[in-house]
Homo-oligomer: A and B are copies of this chain.
Amino acid sequence: MKNLDQENKRQTGEQMYKLAKTLFPIARSITGAGARKTLQLIKRKIPIKISEVPTGTKVFDWNIPKEWNIWDAYIKNSKGQKILDFKKSNLHILNYSIPVNRKIGLTELKKHLHTLPDHPDWIPYLTSYYKEDWGFCLSHNQYKKLKNEIYQVFIDSELENGNLTYGELYLRGKSRDEVLISTYICHPSLANDNLSGIILTAFLAARLSRQARTYYSYRFLFIPETIGAIAWLSLNEEKSKNIKHGLTVTCVGDSGQPTYKKSRQGDAPIDKAVEKVLAESGQPYKIISFSPADGSDERQFSSPGFNFAVGSLMRTPYSRYAEYHTSADNLSFIGPAYLADSLDKYLKTIFILENNMKYANLNPKGEPQLGRRGLYRILGSQKKITLNEEAIFWVLNFSDSKNDLLDISLRSGLKFEDVKNAAYALLEKDLLAKI
Protein backbone atom coordinates (compact mmCIF):
# COMPACT_ATOMS: atom_id res chain seq x y z
CA MET A 1 0.00 0.00 0.00
CA LYS A 2 2.86 2.28 0.85
CA ASN A 3 3.89 3.70 -2.45
CA LEU A 4 4.77 2.98 -6.02
CA ASP A 5 8.36 2.35 -6.87
CA GLN A 6 9.70 3.84 -10.06
CA GLU A 7 9.04 0.94 -12.44
CA ASN A 8 5.67 0.21 -10.90
CA LYS A 9 4.84 3.86 -11.27
CA ARG A 10 5.59 3.84 -14.98
CA GLN A 11 3.52 0.70 -15.58
CA THR A 12 0.67 1.86 -13.39
CA GLY A 13 0.59 5.19 -15.16
CA GLU A 14 0.25 3.42 -18.51
CA GLN A 15 -2.57 1.25 -17.21
CA MET A 16 -4.36 4.25 -15.77
CA TYR A 17 -4.08 6.15 -19.00
CA LYS A 18 -5.33 3.13 -20.96
CA LEU A 19 -8.48 3.00 -18.84
CA ALA A 20 -8.89 6.74 -19.33
CA LYS A 21 -8.88 6.20 -23.09
CA THR A 22 -11.58 3.57 -22.78
CA LEU A 23 -13.85 5.75 -20.63
CA PHE A 24 -13.25 9.08 -22.34
CA PRO A 25 -15.79 8.87 -25.20
CA ILE A 26 -18.78 7.98 -23.02
CA ALA A 27 -21.50 10.65 -22.86
CA ARG A 28 -21.93 10.89 -19.13
CA SER A 29 -24.35 13.03 -17.19
CA ILE A 30 -25.68 13.08 -13.65
CA THR A 31 -28.11 10.30 -14.60
CA GLY A 32 -28.61 7.89 -17.45
CA ALA A 33 -26.82 5.38 -19.61
CA GLY A 34 -23.45 7.16 -19.68
CA ALA A 35 -22.95 7.06 -15.93
CA ARG A 36 -24.29 3.51 -15.81
CA LYS A 37 -21.94 2.30 -18.54
CA THR A 38 -18.98 3.99 -16.81
CA LEU A 39 -19.80 2.21 -13.57
CA GLN A 40 -20.11 -1.14 -15.40
CA LEU A 41 -16.61 -0.70 -16.78
CA ILE A 42 -15.26 0.25 -13.34
CA LYS A 43 -16.94 -2.85 -11.96
CA ARG A 44 -14.74 -5.02 -14.17
CA LYS A 45 -11.79 -3.73 -12.17
CA ILE A 46 -13.21 -3.48 -8.64
CA PRO A 47 -16.35 -5.02 -7.15
CA ILE A 48 -18.40 -1.87 -6.70
CA LYS A 49 -22.04 -2.09 -5.75
CA ILE A 50 -24.19 -0.09 -8.17
CA SER A 51 -27.25 1.62 -6.67
CA GLU A 52 -30.21 3.27 -8.35
CA VAL A 53 -32.16 6.09 -6.69
CA PRO A 54 -35.58 6.73 -8.31
CA THR A 55 -36.54 10.09 -9.76
CA GLY A 56 -38.42 12.17 -7.23
CA THR A 57 -36.78 10.67 -4.17
CA LYS A 58 -36.43 13.39 -1.58
CA VAL A 59 -32.80 13.79 -0.50
CA PHE A 60 -32.56 16.55 2.10
CA ASP A 61 -33.52 19.78 0.34
CA TRP A 62 -33.36 18.22 -3.13
CA ASN A 63 -35.31 15.77 -5.27
CA ILE A 64 -33.68 13.24 -7.56
CA PRO A 65 -34.23 14.69 -11.06
CA LYS A 66 -35.56 12.92 -14.09
CA GLU A 67 -33.19 10.56 -15.84
CA TRP A 68 -31.66 11.91 -18.99
CA ASN A 69 -30.56 9.81 -21.95
CA ILE A 70 -29.29 10.85 -25.31
CA TRP A 71 -28.63 8.90 -28.46
CA ASP A 72 -28.01 11.47 -31.13
CA ALA A 73 -28.02 15.19 -31.84
CA TYR A 74 -27.04 17.36 -34.75
CA ILE A 75 -27.63 20.59 -36.64
CA LYS A 76 -28.10 20.41 -40.40
CA ASN A 77 -27.86 23.39 -42.70
CA SER A 78 -30.29 24.13 -45.45
CA LYS A 79 -28.36 21.78 -47.76
CA GLY A 80 -28.92 18.95 -45.30
CA GLN A 81 -25.27 18.85 -44.30
CA LYS A 82 -24.52 18.09 -40.64
CA ILE A 83 -22.61 21.11 -39.50
CA LEU A 84 -22.50 19.95 -35.90
CA ASP A 85 -22.66 16.35 -34.69
CA PHE A 86 -23.01 15.02 -31.16
CA LYS A 87 -21.27 11.83 -32.29
CA LYS A 88 -18.10 13.78 -32.98
CA SER A 89 -18.07 15.37 -29.51
CA ASN A 90 -20.60 14.87 -26.78
CA LEU A 91 -19.74 18.38 -25.52
CA HIS A 92 -21.73 19.74 -28.50
CA ILE A 93 -24.94 19.13 -26.63
CA LEU A 94 -26.11 21.24 -23.71
CA ASN A 95 -26.16 18.48 -21.10
CA TYR A 96 -29.79 17.58 -20.12
CA SER A 97 -31.23 19.00 -23.37
CA ILE A 98 -34.82 17.96 -23.99
CA PRO A 99 -35.73 16.31 -27.32
CA VAL A 100 -36.06 18.66 -30.29
CA ASN A 101 -36.70 18.24 -33.98
CA ARG A 102 -37.32 21.56 -35.63
CA LYS A 103 -36.41 23.81 -38.51
CA ILE A 104 -35.45 27.29 -37.40
CA GLY A 105 -33.72 30.38 -38.68
CA LEU A 106 -30.31 31.60 -37.61
CA THR A 107 -31.62 34.21 -35.18
CA GLU A 108 -33.70 31.64 -33.34
CA LEU A 109 -30.86 29.10 -33.46
CA LYS A 110 -28.38 31.49 -31.95
CA LYS A 111 -30.48 31.70 -28.78
CA HIS A 112 -29.54 28.07 -28.23
CA LEU A 113 -25.86 28.23 -29.13
CA HIS A 114 -23.00 28.61 -26.64
CA THR A 115 -19.41 29.46 -27.48
CA LEU A 116 -16.19 30.71 -25.89
CA PRO A 117 -15.12 33.89 -27.68
CA ASP A 118 -11.86 34.00 -25.70
CA HIS A 119 -10.89 30.51 -26.86
CA PRO A 120 -12.36 30.44 -30.35
CA ASP A 121 -11.27 26.85 -31.12
CA TRP A 122 -12.69 25.22 -28.04
CA ILE A 123 -16.15 23.84 -27.39
CA PRO A 124 -17.53 24.77 -23.97
CA TYR A 125 -19.20 22.27 -21.65
CA LEU A 126 -22.56 23.41 -20.33
CA THR A 127 -25.44 21.87 -18.43
CA SER A 128 -29.04 22.65 -17.61
CA TYR A 129 -29.98 20.05 -15.04
CA TYR A 130 -32.66 21.90 -13.20
CA LYS A 131 -34.40 23.88 -15.92
CA GLU A 132 -35.76 22.20 -19.04
CA ASP A 133 -33.94 23.66 -22.00
CA TRP A 134 -32.05 22.60 -25.08
CA GLY A 135 -28.93 23.90 -26.73
CA PHE A 136 -25.72 23.26 -28.57
CA CYS A 137 -22.12 24.18 -27.76
CA LEU A 138 -19.58 24.86 -30.48
CA SER A 139 -16.34 26.64 -31.19
CA HIS A 140 -16.61 30.35 -31.66
CA ASN A 141 -14.84 30.09 -35.02
CA GLN A 142 -17.52 27.73 -36.30
CA TYR A 143 -20.23 29.96 -34.83
CA LYS A 144 -18.93 32.97 -36.73
CA LYS A 145 -19.23 31.12 -40.03
CA LEU A 146 -22.93 30.37 -39.60
CA LYS A 147 -25.01 31.79 -42.44
CA ASN A 148 -28.44 33.22 -42.35
CA GLU A 149 -30.38 30.16 -43.50
CA ILE A 150 -32.81 27.60 -42.18
CA TYR A 151 -31.33 24.92 -39.94
CA GLN A 152 -32.65 21.62 -38.79
CA VAL A 153 -31.95 21.03 -35.11
CA PHE A 154 -32.34 17.48 -33.90
CA ILE A 155 -31.86 16.14 -30.41
CA ASP A 156 -32.77 12.52 -29.82
CA SER A 157 -32.87 12.55 -26.06
CA GLU A 158 -35.24 11.52 -23.31
CA LEU A 159 -35.92 13.19 -19.97
CA GLU A 160 -38.19 10.90 -18.01
CA ASN A 161 -38.69 9.36 -14.60
CA GLY A 162 -35.89 6.92 -14.00
CA ASN A 163 -32.97 6.74 -11.65
CA LEU A 164 -29.79 8.35 -10.45
CA THR A 165 -27.00 5.77 -10.49
CA TYR A 166 -23.93 5.59 -8.32
CA GLY A 167 -21.21 3.11 -7.41
CA GLU A 168 -19.75 2.28 -4.03
CA LEU A 169 -17.05 0.01 -2.68
CA TYR A 170 -16.65 -0.60 1.00
CA LEU A 171 -13.53 -2.31 2.32
CA ARG A 172 -13.93 -3.36 5.93
CA GLY A 173 -10.83 -2.70 8.03
CA LYS A 174 -10.04 -3.58 11.63
CA SER A 175 -11.82 -0.47 12.79
CA ARG A 176 -15.26 0.76 11.78
CA ASP A 177 -13.72 4.24 11.50
CA GLU A 178 -13.77 5.15 7.84
CA VAL A 179 -11.69 6.90 5.25
CA LEU A 180 -13.93 8.30 2.51
CA ILE A 181 -12.57 8.58 -1.03
CA SER A 182 -15.12 10.23 -3.27
CA THR A 183 -15.09 11.09 -6.95
CA TYR A 184 -17.69 12.21 -9.47
CA ILE A 185 -18.74 10.45 -12.63
CA CYS A 186 -21.08 12.94 -14.26
CA HIS A 187 -18.85 14.74 -16.73
CA PRO A 188 -18.85 13.69 -20.39
CA SER A 189 -15.65 13.73 -22.46
CA LEU A 190 -13.52 15.81 -20.13
CA ALA A 191 -10.24 14.22 -19.16
CA ASN A 192 -8.82 15.99 -16.14
CA ASP A 193 -12.18 17.02 -14.74
CA ASN A 194 -13.01 14.39 -13.96
CA LEU A 195 -12.05 11.23 -15.79
CA SER A 196 -8.71 11.46 -13.97
CA GLY A 197 -10.52 11.31 -10.64
CA ILE A 198 -12.53 8.24 -11.64
CA ILE A 199 -9.40 6.43 -12.82
CA LEU A 200 -7.35 7.27 -9.73
CA THR A 201 -10.13 6.23 -7.38
CA ALA A 202 -10.57 2.92 -9.18
CA PHE A 203 -6.85 2.15 -9.10
CA LEU A 204 -6.55 3.17 -5.48
CA ALA A 205 -9.49 0.96 -4.54
CA ALA A 206 -8.05 -1.94 -6.53
CA ARG A 207 -4.75 -1.64 -4.75
CA LEU A 208 -6.32 -1.43 -1.28
CA SER A 209 -8.51 -4.46 -2.10
CA ARG A 210 -5.40 -6.52 -2.67
CA GLN A 211 -3.81 -5.44 0.62
CA ALA A 212 -3.78 -7.26 3.90
CA ARG A 213 -6.55 -5.97 6.11
CA THR A 214 -6.19 -2.30 6.80
CA TYR A 215 -6.71 -0.53 10.09
CA TYR A 216 -9.36 1.82 8.75
CA SER A 217 -12.38 0.84 6.72
CA TYR A 218 -12.41 2.50 3.29
CA ARG A 219 -15.40 3.72 1.36
CA PHE A 220 -15.05 4.64 -2.32
CA LEU A 221 -17.85 6.61 -3.91
CA PHE A 222 -18.39 7.07 -7.66
CA ILE A 223 -21.24 9.56 -7.72
CA PRO A 224 -22.65 12.39 -9.78
CA GLU A 225 -21.37 15.66 -8.35
CA THR A 226 -23.47 17.58 -5.80
CA ILE A 227 -26.78 15.71 -6.21
CA GLY A 228 -24.97 12.38 -5.85
CA ALA A 229 -23.16 13.44 -2.70
CA ILE A 230 -26.35 14.84 -1.23
CA ALA A 231 -28.24 11.66 -2.17
CA TRP A 232 -25.61 9.41 -0.64
CA LEU A 233 -25.48 11.44 2.58
CA SER A 234 -29.25 11.49 2.80
CA LEU A 235 -29.64 7.75 2.22
CA ASN A 236 -26.65 6.78 4.39
CA GLU A 237 -26.77 9.31 7.18
CA GLU A 238 -26.25 6.79 9.96
CA LYS A 239 -23.36 5.12 8.18
CA SER A 240 -21.71 8.41 7.39
CA LYS A 241 -20.98 8.99 11.06
CA ASN A 242 -18.05 6.59 10.75
CA ILE A 243 -16.18 8.94 8.39
CA LYS A 244 -13.06 10.14 10.15
CA HIS A 245 -10.96 11.30 7.22
CA GLY A 246 -11.79 11.96 3.60
CA LEU A 247 -10.57 13.14 0.24
CA THR A 248 -12.44 14.12 -2.90
CA VAL A 249 -10.62 13.13 -6.06
CA THR A 250 -10.65 15.54 -8.99
CA CYS A 251 -8.22 17.02 -11.50
CA VAL A 252 -5.42 14.58 -10.76
CA GLY A 253 -4.08 13.95 -14.25
CA ASP A 254 -2.60 17.22 -15.54
CA SER A 255 0.99 18.41 -15.47
CA GLY A 256 0.45 21.11 -12.84
CA GLN A 257 1.72 21.23 -9.27
CA PRO A 258 0.08 19.03 -6.67
CA THR A 259 -2.41 21.22 -4.81
CA TYR A 260 -4.17 20.42 -1.59
CA LYS A 261 -7.40 22.09 -0.57
CA LYS A 262 -7.62 21.78 3.17
CA SER A 263 -10.61 20.48 5.07
CA ARG A 264 -13.04 22.88 6.68
CA GLN A 265 -11.23 22.33 10.01
CA GLY A 266 -7.91 23.19 8.40
CA ASP A 267 -5.80 21.21 10.86
CA ALA A 268 -7.42 17.81 10.84
CA PRO A 269 -5.22 14.67 10.67
CA ILE A 270 -6.03 14.35 6.95
CA ASP A 271 -4.64 17.87 6.45
CA LYS A 272 -1.46 17.11 8.36
CA ALA A 273 -1.03 13.80 6.55
CA VAL A 274 -1.39 15.22 3.04
CA GLU A 275 0.78 18.21 3.85
CA LYS A 276 3.47 15.88 5.20
CA VAL A 277 3.32 13.80 2.00
CA LEU A 278 3.66 16.92 -0.13
CA ALA A 279 6.48 18.33 2.00
CA GLU A 280 8.38 15.04 1.80
CA SER A 281 7.94 14.81 -1.96
CA GLY A 282 10.58 17.40 -2.67
CA GLN A 283 8.33 18.71 -5.46
CA PRO A 284 6.81 22.18 -5.44
CA TYR A 285 3.19 22.14 -4.27
CA LYS A 286 0.42 24.40 -3.12
CA ILE A 287 -1.85 24.38 -0.09
CA ILE A 288 -5.11 26.28 -0.38
CA SER A 289 -7.69 27.02 2.27
CA PHE A 290 -11.08 25.45 2.42
CA SER A 291 -13.75 27.35 0.56
CA PRO A 292 -17.40 26.34 0.45
CA ALA A 293 -17.87 28.42 -2.71
CA ASP A 294 -15.47 26.65 -5.00
CA GLY A 295 -14.74 22.96 -5.24
CA SER A 296 -16.35 19.59 -5.44
CA ASP A 297 -18.21 17.32 -3.06
CA GLU A 298 -16.07 18.22 -0.04
CA ARG A 299 -18.57 21.09 0.06
CA GLN A 300 -21.38 18.64 0.83
CA PHE A 301 -19.33 16.46 3.18
CA SER A 302 -18.23 19.62 5.00
CA SER A 303 -21.66 21.20 5.23
CA PRO A 304 -22.21 22.27 8.83
CA GLY A 305 -24.63 19.43 9.57
CA PHE A 306 -21.85 16.91 8.82
CA ASN A 307 -18.56 18.80 9.07
CA PHE A 308 -16.45 15.80 8.10
CA ALA A 309 -12.72 16.33 7.70
CA VAL A 310 -12.60 16.03 3.93
CA GLY A 311 -9.90 17.70 1.86
CA SER A 312 -9.09 17.44 -1.81
CA LEU A 313 -5.74 16.44 -3.22
CA MET A 314 -5.52 17.60 -6.82
CA ARG A 315 -3.04 18.85 -9.33
CA THR A 316 -4.27 22.07 -11.00
CA PRO A 317 -7.66 22.79 -9.45
CA TYR A 318 -10.81 23.22 -11.55
CA SER A 319 -11.27 26.82 -12.67
CA ARG A 320 -7.58 27.54 -12.30
CA TYR A 321 -6.81 26.22 -15.76
CA ALA A 322 -8.22 27.70 -18.94
CA GLU A 323 -9.06 24.30 -20.45
CA TYR A 324 -11.46 23.55 -17.58
CA HIS A 325 -14.93 22.60 -18.83
CA THR A 326 -13.94 22.82 -22.48
CA SER A 327 -13.02 20.44 -25.25
CA ALA A 328 -9.36 21.27 -24.54
CA ASP A 329 -9.58 19.23 -21.33
CA ASN A 330 -9.00 16.14 -23.42
CA LEU A 331 -6.74 13.10 -23.30
CA SER A 332 -3.69 15.10 -24.30
CA PHE A 333 -4.21 17.39 -21.32
CA ILE A 334 -3.51 14.51 -18.94
CA GLY A 335 -0.62 12.07 -18.86
CA PRO A 336 0.32 8.65 -17.45
CA ALA A 337 3.13 10.02 -15.28
CA TYR A 338 0.87 12.60 -13.63
CA LEU A 339 -1.88 10.08 -12.96
CA ALA A 340 0.63 7.71 -11.37
CA ASP A 341 2.28 10.48 -9.37
CA SER A 342 -1.09 11.51 -7.98
CA LEU A 343 -1.96 7.91 -7.13
CA ASP A 344 1.37 7.60 -5.35
CA LYS A 345 0.55 10.60 -3.16
CA TYR A 346 -2.83 9.13 -2.25
CA LEU A 347 -1.11 5.87 -1.30
CA LYS A 348 1.44 7.70 0.82
CA THR A 349 -1.31 9.64 2.55
CA ILE A 350 -3.10 6.41 3.36
CA PHE A 351 0.17 4.94 4.56
CA ILE A 352 0.41 7.76 7.08
CA LEU A 353 -3.21 7.44 8.20
CA GLU A 354 -2.84 3.68 8.61
CA ASN A 355 0.37 3.91 10.62
CA ASN A 356 -0.35 7.03 12.59
CA MET A 357 -0.69 5.38 15.97
CA LYS A 358 -0.12 6.77 19.41
CA TYR A 359 2.32 4.96 21.66
CA ALA A 360 3.38 5.13 25.29
CA ASN A 361 7.05 5.11 26.25
CA LEU A 362 7.34 2.28 28.77
CA ASN A 363 10.54 3.76 30.25
CA PRO A 364 9.43 7.35 30.52
CA LYS A 365 11.93 8.33 33.23
CA GLY A 366 15.24 9.19 31.60
CA GLU A 367 16.26 7.57 28.35
CA PRO A 368 16.31 3.79 28.30
CA GLN A 369 19.73 2.28 27.66
CA LEU A 370 19.57 1.81 23.91
CA GLY A 371 23.14 0.54 23.48
CA ARG A 372 22.55 -2.84 25.08
CA ARG A 373 19.48 -3.33 22.91
CA GLY A 374 21.44 -2.67 19.73
CA LEU A 375 19.55 0.55 19.08
CA TYR A 376 22.49 2.90 19.55
CA ARG A 377 26.10 2.92 18.43
CA ILE A 378 28.58 1.50 20.91
CA LEU A 379 31.45 3.86 20.30
CA GLY A 380 30.76 7.37 21.63
CA SER A 381 32.22 9.74 19.07
CA GLN A 382 31.95 13.09 17.46
CA LYS A 383 30.06 11.60 14.57
CA LYS A 384 26.53 12.79 13.98
CA ILE A 385 23.99 10.33 15.23
CA THR A 386 22.21 8.37 12.54
CA LEU A 387 18.77 9.12 11.29
CA ASN A 388 17.48 5.99 13.00
CA GLU A 389 18.93 7.00 16.33
CA GLU A 390 17.50 10.47 15.93
CA ALA A 391 14.04 9.12 15.20
CA ILE A 392 14.27 6.77 18.17
CA PHE A 393 14.99 9.63 20.56
CA TRP A 394 12.08 11.64 19.18
CA VAL A 395 9.64 8.76 19.44
CA LEU A 396 10.73 7.97 22.99
CA ASN A 397 10.52 11.53 24.21
CA PHE A 398 7.19 12.40 22.62
CA SER A 399 5.34 9.12 23.08
CA ASP A 400 3.66 10.62 26.07
CA SER A 401 0.03 9.84 25.26
CA LYS A 402 -0.43 13.25 23.67
CA ASN A 403 1.43 12.93 20.38
CA ASP A 404 0.85 10.46 17.58
CA LEU A 405 3.55 9.54 15.08
CA LEU A 406 2.40 12.18 12.62
CA ASP A 407 2.72 14.85 15.31
CA ILE A 408 6.20 13.56 16.10
CA SER A 409 7.24 13.59 12.46
CA LEU A 410 5.93 17.13 12.05
CA ARG A 411 7.63 18.43 15.19
CA SER A 412 10.94 16.72 14.46
CA GLY A 413 10.95 17.40 10.73
CA LEU A 414 11.80 13.73 10.20
CA LYS A 415 10.12 11.68 7.52
CA PHE A 416 7.01 9.90 8.69
CA GLU A 417 8.39 6.58 7.60
CA ASP A 418 11.57 7.03 9.63
CA VAL A 419 9.52 7.87 12.68
CA LYS A 420 7.29 4.88 12.09
CA ASN A 421 10.29 2.57 11.66
CA ALA A 422 11.78 3.88 14.90
CA ALA A 423 8.49 3.16 16.67
CA TYR A 424 8.49 -0.39 15.33
CA ALA A 425 12.07 -0.97 16.44
CA LEU A 426 11.16 0.26 19.92
CA LEU A 427 8.00 -1.86 20.00
CA GLU A 428 10.10 -4.92 19.23
CA LYS A 429 12.32 -4.18 22.21
CA ASP A 430 9.29 -3.65 24.47
CA LEU A 431 10.17 0.00 24.97
CA LEU A 432 6.84 1.21 23.60
CA ALA A 433 3.26 0.08 23.91
CA LYS A 434 0.36 0.92 21.65
CA ILE A 435 -2.20 3.15 23.32
- Contact call A366/B61, Cβ cutoff below 8 A: yes
Q: Does A326 contact B (CB under 8 A)?
A: yes
Assess whether B379 is in contact with A126, with CB atoms less than 8 Å apart: yes
Q: How large is the interface on A (under 10, 10 to 19, 20 to 34, 35 or more residues)?
A: 35 or more
Give which listed residue, B302, B324, B368, contacts A382 with CB less than 8 A.
B324
Whether the Cβ atoms of A367 and B130 lie closer than 8 Å is no
Residues of B within 8 Å of A130, CB to CB, are 369, 371-372, 378
Contact with B along A374-398 (1 / 0, CB 8 A): 0000111110110001110110111
Question: Chain B residues with Cβ under 8 A from A294's Cβ?
Answer: 385, 390
CB-CB under 8 A from A305, the residues of chain B are: 361, 363-366
Residue numbers in B under 8 Å from A128 (CB-CB): 378-380
Binds B, one of A143-151, A226-234, A253-261: A226-234
Report copies per complex: 3
Report yes or no: A300 in contact with B229, Cβ–Cβ below 8 A.
Answer: no
A105-141 contacts to B (CB < 8 Å): 114, 116, 124-131, 133
Q: Is A304 on the interface with B (CB-CB < 8 A)? A: yes
**For the complex, is A307 an interface residue (Cβ under 8 Å from B)?**
yes
* Distance to closest chain B CB from A418 (angstroms): 12
A363: nearest chain-B partner, CB-CB: B61
CA A399 to CA B303, docked complex, whole Å:
10
- A332 at interface by CB-CB < 8 Å: no
Q: How far in angstroms is the closest Cβ of chain B from A294? A: 7
Q: Is A285's CB within 8 Å of the partner chain B?
A: no
Q: How far is the CB of A146 from chain B (nearest CB, A)?
A: 21
State whether B369 touches A61 (Cβ < 8 A). Answer: yes
Q: Which of B116, B124, B364 makes the CB contact (< 8 A) with A303? A: B364
- Establish whether residues A367 and B397, one from each chain, have CB atoms under 8 Å apart when the complex forms: no
Query: Is there an interface contact between A364 and B304, defined as CB atoms closer than 8 Å?
Result: yes
A365 contacts B60, C-beta separation under 8 Å: yes
The answer to whether B129 and A380 touch across the interface, beta carbons within 8 angstroms, is yes
Give the CA-CA distance A396 to B381 in the complex, in Å: 54
Q: A306 interface residue, CB < 8 Å from B?
A: yes
Q: For the complex, is A358 an interface residue (Cβ under 8 Å from B)?
A: no
Q: Which 8 A-B pairs have the closest CB atoms?
A: A305-B364, A292-B397, A305-B365, A325-B382, A304-B400, A127-B380, A293-B393, A230-B366
Beyond A234-B366, A294-B390, 16 additional contacts (C-beta under 8 Å) are A126-B379, A128-B379, A128-B380, A230-B366, A230-B367, A234-B365, A237-B365, A292-B394, A292-B398, A299-B393, A300-B366, A303-B365, A304-B399, A305-B364, A306-B365, A319-B384
Q: Could you show 18 A-B contacts with beta carbons less than 8 Å apart?
A: A61-B363, A61-B367, A61-B369, A62-B369, A95-B380, A124-B381, A127-B379, A128-B378, A130-B371, A226-B367, A234-B365, A292-B396, A293-B390, A293-B412, A303-B367, A304-B396, A306-B365, A325-B381
